[in-house]
Structure 1
Amino acid sequence: DAEGRVVKYGSVMAVVAVTTPVTPTPDPVSPGSGGNPSTGSNTNSGTPSGNPSSTVTDVIVLVNGKEENAGKATTTTTGNVRTTTIAVDPARLQAKLDAEGNGAVVTIPMMLDSNVIVGELSGQMIKNMENMAATLVLQTSKGSYTLPASEVNIAALAARLGNGAKLDDITLRITISDASAAMNQVVSAAAGRDGLTLAAPALDFTVTASSGTSTVELNRFNAYVSRTVALPQGVNPNRLTTGIVVDPDGTVRHVPTRIILKEGKYYAEINSLTNSTYSVVWHPLTFADVEKHWAKNAVNDMGSRLVINGVNESTFNPNADITRAEFAAIIVRGLGLKLGEGAAKFADVPASSWYAAAVGAASEAGLINGFEDGTFRPGDRITREQAMNIIAKAMKLTGLAEQTGAVDTAGVLAAFTDASRTGAWAKDSLALAASAGLITGRGGNKLEAQANVTRAEVAVLIQRLLQKSKLID
């Protein structure tokens, strides 16, 4: 472990997604019902070439829950893989958006049991949705993907495609698919290695833009993007810990996750800043030395979610101080940031150090700036005011800062008897964190801003940040 800790895990029971072969002729397509209409009534078997393994079907698209026959679904079968692609009619969708006004939610429901489901819209349609602050939802029987049009940044994608690509000539594809057989092996192996019990099949979530022969992938967002993973029938929702991202190299990271109940079915709602392969795991963890500690619940919760580690298999050492490098690693894990995003730019952070990737990711995300002399001082103990400065920046990333609103710094800090001993540079951050309910001070209404943060306090701080940001329960 990078922090020199050993963690005790439970038993392993792998549940791996399986791609089921389909017959050459797909199952008949039927209209949806209730709040999730899947298709209209016009189904044409075959394609112009007479291929019996394809169907073309009308699709009902929902705009703020109101139905519009605005899509065509083409389902094809290649080998063991059945793919359904829904192309949305731009004129019909635009008319519905104009009628609904700004902030509309456009839902493409497709309940066919295909291995790959793709929603297709033109680049110009995405730009129009961005201008109207609209949100796109691809809803399938296995999961859903909620993507604000603003997070697509279609203009930036067009620039990446090059050659003066016009928005009308760009096709944006949002895809939810079963993980490939090879990727399922990676997920299963990673779970076994890390002592995780997989509780749902792995799904891939991708967004691509194409023009001519060029294709670019959108894999990073500026704000958290929500997706759900449907939990298999019979899975106990109380025996689920968190969603995870698994990279092709087998690296596993926590992503903020809540379990939700919708129309009688349980889902893991996962919020992430990236696209990748996702699954849901059960990973209960308890530390013996926090059994009677005030931070017991937060420590065990954050440990189970793969955010914090113990100093050995049964010990957390809750009252010990924590270093700046350790704090950077924990905040990166808590937020679900991908390690290695951005190089560490500090003179005293060697590329070979265990914390270099975490510090680089935190720096890239704008969470840390270091000191005026260009150092990060990774081995120093982190103070409460330093930690709050980082947390305040994390609050902007999670949306909690905006949710909290304007803060009267002097008024908030007046509640603490030692506020005058807080560094001027940290007062706004401390007031924001206090106003959001992330900190309440130590005994006697003291901030003790220049005291060191303990390991227990960090666990509580990260848990409160994620909970109040509505990223975890």
Structure 2
Amino acid sequence: MKKSLIPGVILGLLAASLTPIAPTAFIASAYAATTPVTISTTNTSYVVGSQLHITGSSPAGKDITFKMVDSTGYVIHVDAIYGKDNNGQYSFDFTLPSNKTGTMTIIAGYGGASGEFALKNITVNNPSSNETGGSRGGGGGGGVYIPPTTSQPTDNSAGTVNLTAAIKESLSNGVVTVTFDSSKLTELMSSSATSASKVLVLDVKETGNTVKTELTTQVLSLLASKNEDVVLQVQTSIGAYNLPIKQLDVASIAREQGVSASDVKIAISMDKLQADKAAAVNSTASKQGWQVLSVPVDFTVSIVASDGTSKPINSFTRYVERSIPVQSTVNAKTATGVMYNEANGTFSPVPTLFTGVNATLFRKGNSIYTIIDNPKTFSDISGHWAKNDIELLASKLIVNGIENDKFAPDNNITRAEFAALLVRSLAVEEVKATGFTDVTAANWFSGAVGAAKAAQLIAGFEDGTFQPNAKITREQMVTMIIRAFQFAGKEVSSDSTVINKFTDRADISDWSKDAVAKSIAAGVIQGMTDTTFAPHENATRAQATLMLERMLQYLQFINK
């Protein structure tokens, strides 16, 4: 069992947690001792990205701190586990970084004095390269990046091509600038392997507080030469960004800037927030009672003119993935990614998938993102059939209680309330509502209804109203959800005959029959019974929560 905080008394092991420490040879001599603490690993040689299983023992009643450093003394991981719960026996699993090779030293123990810790060396190799050592330390802190594995191909047979050999990196004042060598890129893109490529990968070796990748119009043309739907995946120690090249209409953007397309370039930046900016994010999150699990990162994509002026590209027509490392393996049920709004100091949830110590966030725009942990429950859901579903989406900041400690799961939900939940689930920014005679700027739901309309999640009624305070029906709710699938780029196919099993199918409105059939096929909703659908029955807050959870899981926007 892991501890949420590292014990402060283990000073000897943690003295170098935040700064590079002595090389392995020095560590061994400094800590050499006969010790009651033991360390065992399944093997002594591993490959990058594989699972490391560590076991051992220490005096009963002692907690164990685990640390791993590379051959330069750079701290790769620090964590704490309970040893005293198992008569001094401990066990720990850790996914090795994908970007670290060479000799690694494991240090485990309960103190820094002689006999209170143990050491074990392992070797980590990368079978796909000739690198047998080296480090990327010296500026990245203790975090490591593990490329996303949830939605992207990982080998050439699945359509991935590595273009790292075609890039040049330079480091100045903590900023890593990545540019392309056009001749090398042309050579790589001419390979037959790129003809079916879906993802073009750049693995940036240098570390800094900012990584900026520059793409000229010539480079963009080369990247899209074999497949215009290709995604450029930039992997760094700060995080990763998956940019669909098709999203960049450089010619149109250049026209808006009043310059020639040949005079501009695209810059993808990942900026690890420092000092006051990072403190503002962390302080605001702490005031909400959340635990911050990652360094805040500002992701931007900008068009840069020849004179150096730049303009951010803040919205895309499809969801864009970006990934950031977290401090340790997280509880995917209570953790979530959030976007931070610097202008008003607020947070909003972002669809997030967790894989090991990597979090992948999905949104149609850029901003500052971080990961929080927010376990949440309510006093009135104990024993309720939707307890786990409510706690899940409340922890992810999607559903709120009617009071801090009350959720009212069996209360009906209104059309405006459900629109607000849907917009929040999809990370759609609120905009002023227009076009409805019964929604004004003074209404609390104006922004959510405006966003839902702009995203084509709602349409309203023929008389020009939205009827925000009306209780939402089951068929209205699934119609909105199917439109949400379309907004997210996910088409659902179904056989319309699936509704024939319902004896009340004639009561299903013609405008909702297709959505009802698709929602059943997607597993978002079921009948009220095996033979009835009850299309006009009002939905409860608990039912709405469950449908949103199923929607997010179907879209692969949260873990199952």
Shared topology, TM-score over 0.5? yes
Query: How much does 1:395 deviate?
Result: 0.6
Is 1:250 aligned to residue 337 of structure 2?
no
**Any idea what the Cα deviations from partners look like across 1:225-260, whole Å, max 9, x if unmatched?**
11111112x565568510000011212101011110
Query: Which residue is equivalent to 1:54?
Result: none
Secondary structure in 2 aligned to 1:155? helix
Native 8 Å contact 1:258 1:472 kept in 2? yes
Q: Could you state the TM-score of these two structures normalised by the residue count of structure 1?
A: 0.81
Secondary structure in 1 aligned to 2:501? coil
Native 8 Å contact 1:239 1:282 kept in 2? no
Kindly report which structure 2 residues correspond to 1:149-160, keeping only aligned pairs within 5 A, or say none: 149-160=245-256
Query: Which residue is equivalent to 2:297?
Result: 203
Q: Percent identity?
A: 30
Report which stretch shifted further, 211-220 or 350-359.
Answer: 211-220
Query: Which residue is equivalent to 1:468?
Result: 554
Query: How much does 1:299 deviate?
Result: 0.8
**Any idea what the Cα deviations from partners look like across 1:373-400, whole Å, max 9, x if unmatched?**
2211111111111111111110112233
Query: Which residue is equivalent to 2:537?
Result: 451
Is 1:219 aligned to residue 306 of structure 2?
no
Native 8 Å contact 1:121 1:173 kept in 2? yes
Q: Could you state the TM-score of these two structures normalised by the residue count of structure 2?
A: 0.69
Q: Using the alignment, how far apart are the partners of 2:457 and 2:323 within structure 1?
A: 27
Report which stretch shifted further, 89-98 or 109-118.
Answer: 89-98
Is 1:125 aligned to residue 215 of structure 2?
no
Native 8 Å contact 2:409 2:541 kept in 1? yes
- Structure 2 vs 1, CA of residues 175 and 35 (structure 1 numbering), >3 Å: closer, same or farther? farther
- Structure 2 vs 1, CA of residues 140 and 38 (structure 1 numbering), >3 Å: closer, same or farther? farther
- Structure 2 vs 1, CA of residues 240 and 456 (structure 1 numbering), >3 Å: closer, same or farther? closer
Q: What is the RMSD of the two structures over their aligned residues, measured on CA atoms?
A: 2.9
Native 8 Å contact 1:412 1:431 kept in 2? yes
- Structure 2 vs 1, CA of residues 64 and 128 (structure 1 numbering), >3 Å: closer, same or farther? same
Query: How much does 1:123 deviate?
Result: 2.3
Structure 2 residues not aligned, in runs of 5+: 6-17, 21-71, 73-98, 102-125, 132-155
Q: Using the alignment, how far apart are the partners of 1:361 and 1:179 within structure 2?
A: 29
- Structure 2 vs 1, CA of residues 21 and 469 (structure 1 numbering), >3 Å: closer, same or farther? same
| Aligned-partner residue type, residue 304 of structure 1 | S
| Aligned-partner residue type, residue 96 of structure 1 | L
Q: Using the alignment, how far apart are the partners of 2:381 and 2:284 within structure 1?
A: 28
Q: Using the alignment, how far apart are the partners of 2:130 and 2:282 within structure 1?
A: 32
| Aligned-partner residue type, residue 169 of structure 1 | D
1:162 to 258, 270, 287: 258
**Any idea what the Cα deviations from partners look like across 1:322-360, whole Å, max 9, x if unmatched?**
1111011100111111223x5433221110211111111
Q: Using the alignment, how far apart are the partners of 1:371 and 1:181 within structure 2?
A: 51
- Structure 2 vs 1, CA of residues 185 and 442 (structure 1 numbering), >3 Å: closer, same or farther? same
Q: Using the alignment, how far apart are the partners of 1:374 and 1:38 within structure 2?
A: 66
Secondary structure in 1 aligned to 2:319? strand
Q: Which consecutive aligned stretches of 4+ in structure 1 deviate over 6 angstroms post-superposition? A: 35-39
Is 1:407 aligned to residue 494 of structure 2?
yes
Native 8 Å contact 1:383 1:450 kept in 2? yes
Q: Using the alignment, how far apart are the partners of 1:245 and 1:463 within structure 2?
A: 20
Native 8 Å contact 2:162 2:200 kept in 1? no
Native 8 Å contact 1:87 1:120 kept in 2? yes
| Aligned-partner residue type, residue 484 of structure 2 | A
Query: Which residue is equivalent to 1:378?
Result: 468
- Structure 2 vs 1, CA of residues 68 and 114 (structure 1 numbering), >3 Å: closer, same or farther? closer
Q: Using the alignment, how far apart are the partners of 1:38 and 1:271 within structure 2?
A: 34
- Structure 2 vs 1, CA of residues 454 and 36 (structure 1 numbering), >3 Å: closer, same or farther? farther
Query: Which residue is equivalent to 1:174?
Result: 268
Kindly report which structure 2 residues correspond to 1:222-241, keeping only aligned pairs within 5 A, or say none: 222-232=317-327, 234=328, 236-237=330-331, 241=335
Query: Which residue is equivalent to 1:43?
Result: none
Native 8 Å contact 2:325 2:358 kept in 1? yes
Kindly report which structure 2 residues correspond to 1:306-345, keeping only aligned pairs within 5 A, or say none: 306-340=397-431, 343-345=433-435
- Structure 2 vs 1, CA of residues 94 and 382 (structure 1 numbering), >3 Å: closer, same or farther? farther
Secondary structure in 1 aligned to 2:511? helix
- Structure 2 vs 1, CA of residues 200 and 287 (structure 1 numbering), >3 Å: closer, same or farther? same
Native 8 Å contact 1:68 1:92 kept in 2? no
- Structure 2 vs 1, CA of residues 296 and 114 (structure 1 numbering), >3 Å: closer, same or farther? same
Report which stretch shifted further, 93-102 or 62-71.
Answer: 62-71
- Structure 2 vs 1, CA of residues 170 and 91 (structure 1 numbering), >3 Å: closer, same or farther? farther
Q: Using the alignment, how far apart are the partners of 1:281 and 1:162 within structure 2?
A: 41
Native 8 Å contact 2:180 2:219 kept in 1? no
Is 1:86 aligned to residue 178 of structure 2?
yes
Structure 1 residues not aligned, in runs of 5+: 1-10, 13-19, 40-61
1:96 to 188, 193, 201: 188
Query: How much does 1:94 deviate?
Result: 3.3
Is 1:353 aligned to residue 443 of structure 2?
yes
Q: Which has the larger radius of gyration?
A: 2
**Any idea what the Cα deviations from partners look like across 1:150-206, whole Å, max 9, x if unmatched?**
22333332232223x22x332111111112434323312321332221111100111
2:477 to 367, 387, 392: 387
Kindly report which structure 2 residues correspond to 1:101-120, keeping only aligned pairs within 5 A, or say none: 101-120=195-214
Query: Which residue is equivalent to 1:144?
Result: 240
- Determine which structure has greater relative contact order: mean sequence separation of CA pairs < 8 Å that are 6+ residues apart, divided by chain length: 1
Query: How much does 1:98 deviate?
Result: 3.2
Query: How much does 1:95 deviate?
Result: 3.2
Secondary structure in 2 aligned to 1:414? helix
Q: Using the alignment, how far apart are the partners of 2:129 and 2:254 within structure 1?
A: 32
- Structure 2 vs 1, CA of residues 412 and 130 (structure 1 numbering), >3 Å: closer, same or farther? farther
The alignment of Structure 1 onto Structure 2 pairs a total of residues equal to: 413
Query: How much does 1:279 deviate?
Result: 0.4
**Any idea what the Cα deviations from partners look like across 1:291-328, whole Å, max 9, x if unmatched?**
22221111110111100011122221111111111011
Q: Using the alignment, how far apart are the partners of 1:414 and 1:296 within structure 2?
A: 32
Kindly report which structure 2 residues correspond to 1:260-339, keeping only aligned pairs within 5 A, or say none: 260-261=355-356, 266-339=357-430
- Structure 2 vs 1, CA of residues 255 and 278 (structure 1 numbering), >3 Å: closer, same or farther? same
